[in-house]
């Protein structure tokens, strides 16, 4: 009788465990993905939606996205990080630089003239965060980090050709390091998220904006400005911005093991590089829309003056990071070495 009861209990427990496992394996999850650009933007159509399609395919449609572009769930772009950290949403795409000073170690990639290639630099950024700044993103689960292509000056009334042209201009920039660099060049920097750029240009609140070409159609910049000033492509870009694609940590932890594997397989260094490459392709598309306007290239010799002007910006970042207990110069060299490593591997 005792043996029969033990056998029955063991059978019941096995059934319960099997049912639990089966339930977990059959679980369907919908991730709420929030970002600040419209659904027509290249970021949405060429990166975010394809990523969501990929995890749905890899999970046999058990892991899906519900994407909310243009801040449809409320708040402002600088609030996106707290929304995902606090579980208001499950995944966000945004710029760390929208919350100035919150991610100081990662800002090294936004210093003047750091990036030559968005794909290689995006891979370097992922590695850098894992090796040198994981604590900055400890409250979320990182999926990818990336940068965009070379920044371009989009000007209402006159182009940028030399440093002298910056005097008296109000220029929009996305991050505090780019703002500091514009000030060093002689302009008056105006910080604002991308969605506000179109209206500010229309009203004349700003004289121009620095964004990559991929942003052009999202805010219709090509319809508002007359001039586009690029920097010599043989030189590093005068600036780039860092981006984060991250998930709520508790949401990731709650996923069944097989769905975690799907997320993991669609995360990391390779994805980061792929996004950087995608943004370069989006630049090419965005630039086509500016054909009716005037474009000039700022020459290599002129850029040497800009590099000199940017040196105090770099030194200020090093000093700031040192004051936080890190070694700023070592981190700068580590970032440069990772960029060089991934650039050489291409």
- Which of 5-9, 50-54, 109-113, 173-177 has the weakest average pLDDT? 5-9
- Which of 95-104, 154-163, 308-317 has the weakest average pLDDT? 95-104
Q: What is the mean pLDDT of the chain?
A: 93
Structural tokens at position 171: 């220029």
pTM of the full structure: 0.91
Band of the pLDDT at 11, cuts 50, 70, 90?
low
Residue of 166, 204, 209, 203 lying closest to 188 (CA atoms) = 166
Percent of the chain at pLDDT > 70 equals 92
Q: Is the per-residue pLDDT at 61 higher than 50?
A: yes
Between CA 339 and CA 342, with CA 341 as vertex, the angle to 5 degrees is: 70
Let me know how many helices (H) and strands (E) the chain has, helices first.
13, 11
pLDDT of residue 208: 98
Phi-psi label, residue 92: left if phi above 0, alpha if psi -120 to 50, beta otherwise: beta
Number of Cβ within a 10 Å radius of residue 183: 16
H or E stretch covering 163:
none
- Average pLDDT score over residue span 277-302: 97
**Strand, coil or helix: 93:** strand
pLDDT in tens, 106-157: 999 999 999 999 999 999 999 999 999 999 999 999 999 999 999 999 999 9
Percent of the chain at pLDDT > 90 equals 89
pLDDT in tens, 87-106: 999 999 999 999 988 999 99
- Average pLDDT score over residue span 302-309: 98
Q: Domain 27-148+240-283 classified CATH 3.30.450.20?
A: no
Burial of 60 (0-12, 13-18, 19+ CB in 10 A): exposed
- Average pLDDT score over residue span 198-207: 96
pLDDT of residue 53: 98
Q: 12 versus 92: which is more confidently predicted?
A: 92
Residue 51: C-alpha distances to residues 34, 80, 124, 242 (Å): 14, 19, 21, 19
Band of the pLDDT at 24, cuts 50, 70, 90?
very low
- Which of 20-24, 28-32, 168-172 has the weakest average pLDDT? 20-24
């Amino acid at each position: 009788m005792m043996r029969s009861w033990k056998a029955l209990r063991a059978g019941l427990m096995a059934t319960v465990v099997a049912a639990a496992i089966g339930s977990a394996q059959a679980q369907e999850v919908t991730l709420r993905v929030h970002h600040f650009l419209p659904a027509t933007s290249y970021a949405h159509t060429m990166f975010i939606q394809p990523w969501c399609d990929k995890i749905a395919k890899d999970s046999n449609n058990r892991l899906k996205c519900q994407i909310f572009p243009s801040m449809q769930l409320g708040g402002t772009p600088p609030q996106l990080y707290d929304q995902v950290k606090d579980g208001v949403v499950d995944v966000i795409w945004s710029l760390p630089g929208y919350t100035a000073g919150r991610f100081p170690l990662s800002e090294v990639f936004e210093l003047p003239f750091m990036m030559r290639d968005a794909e290689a630099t995006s891979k370097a950024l992922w590695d850098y965060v894992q090796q040198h700044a994981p604590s900055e993103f400890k409250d979320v689960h990182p999926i990818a980090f990336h940068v965009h292509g070379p920044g371009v000056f989009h000007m209402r009334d006159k182009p940028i050709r030399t440093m002298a042209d910056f005097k008296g201009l109000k220029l929009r920039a996305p991050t505090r390091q780019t703002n500091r660099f514009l000030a060093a060049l002689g302009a008056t920097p105006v910080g604002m998220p991308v969605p506000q750029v179109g209206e500010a240009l229309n009203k004349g609140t700003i004289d121009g904006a620095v964004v990559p070409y991929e942003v052009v159609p999202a805010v219709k910049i090509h319809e508002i400005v007359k001039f586009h000033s690029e920097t010599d492509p043989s030189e590093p870009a005068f600036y780039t911005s860092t981006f984060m694609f991250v998930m709520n940590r508790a949401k990731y932890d709650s996923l069944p093991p097989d769905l975690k594997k799907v997320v993991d397989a669609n995360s990391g260094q390779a994805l980061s590089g792929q996004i950087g490459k995608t943004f370069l392709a989006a630049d090419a598309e965005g630039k086509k829309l500016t054909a009716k306007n005037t474009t000039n290239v700022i020459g290599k010799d002129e850029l040497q003056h800009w590099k000199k002007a940017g040196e105090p910006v770099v030194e200020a970042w090093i000093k700031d990071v040192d004051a936080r207990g890190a070694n700023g110069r070592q981190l700068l060299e580590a970032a440069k070495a990772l960029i060089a490593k991934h650039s050489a591997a291409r």
